[in-house]
Every structure is written in C-alpha cells, then in structure tokens.
Amino acid sequence: MRIGELAERAGTSTRTLRYYEERGLLSARRNSSGYRDYDEDDARLVREIRALLGIGFDLEETRPFVECLRAGHDAGDECPASVAVYRRKLAELDACIDRMQGIRAHLVAQLDQTERAHAGGERVDRPATPAAAAAAALPDPPEARCALTAGPLAKESR
Amino acid sequence: MRIGELAERAGTSTRTLRYYEERGLLSARRNSSGYRDYDEDDARLVREIRALLGIGFDLEETRPFVECLRAGHDAGDECPASVAVYRRKLAELDACIDRMQGIRAHLVAQLDQTERAHAGGERVDRPATPAAAAAAALPDPPEARCALTAGPLAKESR
DNA sequence: GTAGACCTTGACGTTGACGTGAAGGCCAGA
DNA sequence: TCTGGCCTTCACGTCAACGTCAAGGTCTAC
C-alpha cells in the first residue's frame, strides 16, 4: 500500500510517516515510480509506535519495540531492551504520580484555606506566599519529568 | 537591587527575568544609567511565579496571581481569578493522575505477562500488539494534557 | 489531453520558556 | 587608565513531533 493509505489506516498523517522514516523507525520499499510501498508488517509497526506515543513514550523510546518487531518477534515487548524501557517508564510514572499527588494535596489545602478566609473571620493564619510554601514543602524536585500530552490522537479522536 | 542580584536571589537567570518583563508579568523602574531596579515586592513576585511554574502552571496561568499581588493583596491566591486557576489546575491534575494510573496498571500487566512468558511455558496467551491493546483499553484520551516538567529549577537544584 | 488525486523532496513554521551569543554602555578598584 | 564585572538591547538557537507550503512528477478518469 502507499503512504496515504497507511496513514489513514494508522489514523495519522503522511508527514508523520515520513518523519518516522527520517528518524529511522520506519523503512519502505519503492515502486517503479519512486512511491513508498508498505505492507501489513509496516502497518503493525506504525500502530505500535502510535500506541506507545499515546501512553507517554517519546519516539526514541519506541525504537526498541520497533526493532524487536523487525527482528521477527510476535510482540514489540518480547525483547530485553523493550522490557527495560517498560521498567524505566513505570518508575517515571510512579515518580510522576507521586509528585502530582503531592501537588494536588497542597492545591486542595490552598483552596480550603482561601475559602475559609473568605467565609469565616477573614483572618486565617496563612503563610506569606502560599504557592511558594507549597512548592517548598514538596520533596525536592526528584527528576520527575512528567509529560503526557496525549499528543496527536486527541485531535483525530474528537 | 539590580537584575543580577534578583536573579540570584530567586534562583534563576537574568534572561528569565527579562522574559517575564517582556511577557508583562514583571516591571522595573530604571536608575539613572538605565539599569533595572527592583525591590522586595518584585522579589516576592518572582518567587510566586517560580513556585507556580514549579508545580506545573504555565506562565500565563501565573498572571492572575501576579496581578493579585500587585493589587496589594497579601497573597497571590486571594483573588477570584487565582482561585479559578487553582480549581482548573486541580481538575487537570485529577484527570492527569487518573490517566497515569490507568497507564501504570497496563504497564504493570504487560511486564507481568512478559515475565511469565519468559519464565513459564513460553506460550502465554497475549494480544498481538500489547501496547496497542493497552492504549485501546484506556478510556478515550479525555483531554488530559498532562505536563509537569519541573522545568529549570531541576538544573539549578542539583 | 487535461483535471484531479495521489506521490516526491525540501525547507520553513509552530509552541514555551528560556539559553546563548554579539556589540556596546556604565562603573569600581588597582 | 585600564581591566573586569556588571548592565543594556537585539536577535537567533533549542527541543519534539510534526504542520504547512512550494514546486514538481505520476497515474487514473473522463
């Protein structure tokens, strides 16, 4: 199949597929007129990439899965390198969830206090700068690079 | 105080402070030689901004807090607009935490299955593409734009 | 034979929060 | 006076994952 069909079937764009090729994640035979030609395996590959991106992996992190599939494995996560990424992601996710829950707790506390200040006697004992105090009270920013934008599928899925 | 001192005291860079000014979040008197001149209130303002950025707010979202402080309030979150941002952030955070926990659960399941496949009889019944199945099983990507990079302080704090 | 739908490569634009120079002014100390 | 350290304003670079446009080749249908 050609790039347009693969893009449609994968719910993405031709630009995206060319980008994956550019990054070395996807490769394509060429037909006589120079058009890219893909097969079912390529489609699976793209679906794997999109799925992993969708759950917060970045492109580089999908590489082991892609290579695992290309090595003939039935699933992208059958190889040690993929499992390692799984584990790393799990750790990141845990750190991220922890951090977010900490922030959430502080936010709830702030809202609580602000509300009481406006309802009750106007003079609740609060720190000078609530946000600063909240941030200070959090365990030191522990490498928790949390990001998970749900990316491109959000646009397509609406 | 001049920009260098404020930057150091706020644990950030002069470039950052000029950027905040450019975005209209910070303003400065000028001394006779054209240098920016800041006071303690400005320092508090910058600390507020940094604290909010640190817990996942983007710059634009800190604006109500900044304006609240500049309006003479003791705390940046005493104004309705700030509280509204708090509430919005709380909702975002909840959605984000939910999503991450969902993903976490699937990741754990994947790791589990992969491990059993390698330990036990080599033939565990698994879906064709684990990651894809995991993504499909998640409740449809619900606008959850999760992001929380801990930003620039991570570099300074090491 | 020509419109239209596909494909090609190349290259610049997007978003946020700054980093990193360049080119020059101001000021204190030796 | 001169070195060094601060400051000033441009203005381009960064990172990811593509979007978007341009100029042109290819293929099918009418």
Q: pLDDT (tens digit, 9 = 90+) per residue, B129-148?
A: 555 555 555 545 445 678 87
User: A100 pLDDT exceeds 70?
Assistant: yes
The pLDDT assigned to B116 comes to 74
Average pLDDT, chain B: 83
- Residue A146 contacts B, CB cutoff 8 Å: yes
> What pTM was estimated for this model as a whole?
0.83
**Would you tell me which CATH number, out of the four given (1.10.1660.10, 3.10.20.30, 2.60.40.2470, 1.10.3470.10), belongs to the domain A3-56?**
1.10.1660.10
- Average pLDDT, stretch B150-157? 43
- Average pLDDT, stretch B99-119? 84
Structure tokens at A34: 């120079």
CATH of domain B3-54: 1.10.1660.10
Give the model's confidence band at B124: pLDDT under 50 very low, under 70 low, under 90 confident, else very high: low
Helices (H) and strands (E) in chain A, counts: 7, 3
| Contact between residue A127 and residue B48 where contact means Cβ atoms under 8 Å apart | no
Q: Is the CB of B2 under 7 A from strand C?
A: no
pLDDT tens sequence across A104-158: 998 898 888 777 766 655 555 555 555 555 555 554 544 567 887 654 443 333 3
- Average pLDDT, stretch A44-64? 94
The pLDDT assigned to B157 comes to 37
Which of the pair, B129 or A89, is modelled with greater confidence? Answer: A89
- Residue A31 contacts B, CB cutoff 8 Å: no
- With helix as H, strand as E and coil as C, how does chain B read? CCHHHHHHHHCCCHHHHHHHHHCCCCCCEECCCCCEECCHHHHHHHHHHHHHHHCCCCHHHHHHHHHHHHCCCCCCCCCHHHHHHHHHHHHHHHHHHHHHHHHHHHHHHHHHHHHHHHHCCCCCCCCCCHHHHHHHHCCCCCCCCEEECCCCHHHHCC
The pLDDT assigned to B122 comes to 56
The pLDDT assigned to B153 comes to 44
- Residue A54 contacts B, CB cutoff 8 Å: yes
Lowest mean pLDDT among A54-58, B79-83, B120-124: B120-124
Structure tokens at A66: 């892609």
Q: How far is B31 from chain A (nearest CA, A)?
A: 28
Sequence spans of domains, chain A? 3-56, 96-146
Q: How far is B57 from chain A (nearest CA, A)?
A: 11
